Amino acid sequence: MIAVRGLTVHLGGHTVLDGVDLDLPDGGVVAVTGPNGCGKTTLGRVLLGLVEPADGSVRGLGGARAAVFQEDRLCEHLDAVANVRLVLPHDVGAAEVTAELRALGLTADALGRPVRDLSGGQRRRVAIARALLAEADLVVLDEPFTGIDAAGRDQVLARVAQSCAGRTVLLITHDQDDALRLGATVVDLPRAQASDDDGRRRA
Ligand SMILES: Nc1ncnc2c1ncn2[C@@H]1O[C@H](COP(=O)(O)OP(=O)(O)OP(=O)(O)O)[C@@H](O)[C@H]1O
């Protein structure tokens, strides 16, 4: 289990997270929801080692970590397969990557083009494939389905659920339906200034 205790983060002179406690059970999906700016992305970035907390602890972070960020973070001049292979071990071949992208609903004609020529929903699928194929123990998905149409969403959600089975997942979302469809435990993260009297809050 990943155990977050008393997590406090200051950014730009403001307290973004203030004494947050959160449990991420091994192999489970926890969905964090809450208003814009309450610190969901910051929480995910702490788990990924990208933000240093001012206080508190995160225990149980041991294995590999992967993420879908709110931004696609793709190399624009490369095609989808090349983008995904950039971050994977060399023994993950083009055929395996292609199969994953197709399973996520990327069309054959989209596969051969540089990603700068893909639509928003197609680019999201590339970013998701990259995270799924990384075979990480912890997967942070920060609003991963933005821009994916309703029919495609079913396909992508099914694939993510299948691929993430047995892994620990933090899903950051505004969509309760997506969370429920991934079988997530939903946790609401209030704003830092809404702290309890003792200055702590249970996420
Ligand atoms: N690098 C930074 N420097 C200063 N402030 C920051 C930085 N990154 C984020 N913040 C602030 O921290 C707060 C939390 O941001 P964060 O992105 O974690 O919120 P969020 O809950 O994910 O929001 P959203 O739902 O809009 O994605 C916001 O007020 C934001 O402006």
pLDDT category of residue 200 using cuts at 50, 70 and 90: very low
Q: Quickly state the pLDDT bin for 90 (edges 50, 70, 90).
A: confident
Mean pLDDT throughout 111-123? Answer: 96
Please identify, by atom number, the ligand 1 atom nearest to the C-alpha of residue 35: 25
**Global pTM value:** 0.91
Which whole number is the average pLDDT over 77-104?
A: 94
State whether the beta carbon of 40 lies less than 6 angstroms from ligand 1.
yes
pLDDT score of 201 more than 80: no
Q: Kindly report the length of the chain.
A: 203
CA of 174 to the centre of ligand 1 (A): 15
- The residue among 202 and 119 whose pLDDT is bigger is 119
* Residue-averaged pLDDT of the chain: 92
Tell me, in angstroms, the distance from the centre of ligand 1 to residue 21's CA: 18
Q: How confident is the model at residue 14 (pLDDT cuts 50, 70, 90)?
A: very high
Closest residue (by CA) to atom 8 of ligand 1?
A: 11
Whether pLDDT at 172 is above 90? yes
Is there a contact between 36 and 59 (Cβ–Cβ < 8 Å)? no
Convert the pLDDT of each residue in 24-67 to its tens digit: 999 999 999 999 999 999 999 999 999 999 999 999 998 899 99
Percent of the chain with pLDDT over 70: 95
Smallest Cα–Cα separation from 58: which of 203, 171, 164?
Answer: 203
Confidence (pLDDT) at 63: 87
Q: What is the pLDDT of residue 203?
A: 52
The ipTM (two decimal places) reads 0.97
Tell which phi-psi region holds residue 147, choosing left (phi > 0), alpha (psi between -120 and 50) or beta. Answer: left
CB-ligand 1 contact for 173 (6 Å cutoff): no
Q: Residue 33: beta bridge partners?
A: 188
Side chain identity at residue 104, one-letter code: L
Question: What span, in angstroms and rounded, lies between the C-alpha atoms of 145 and 132?
Answer: 14
Does any ligand 1 atom lie closer than 6 A to the CB of residue 203?
no
Cβ 13 under 6 angstroms from ligand 1: no
- CB 132 less than 6 A from any atom of ligand 1: no
Q: Which of 16, 40, 39 is nearest to 30 (CA)?
A: 40
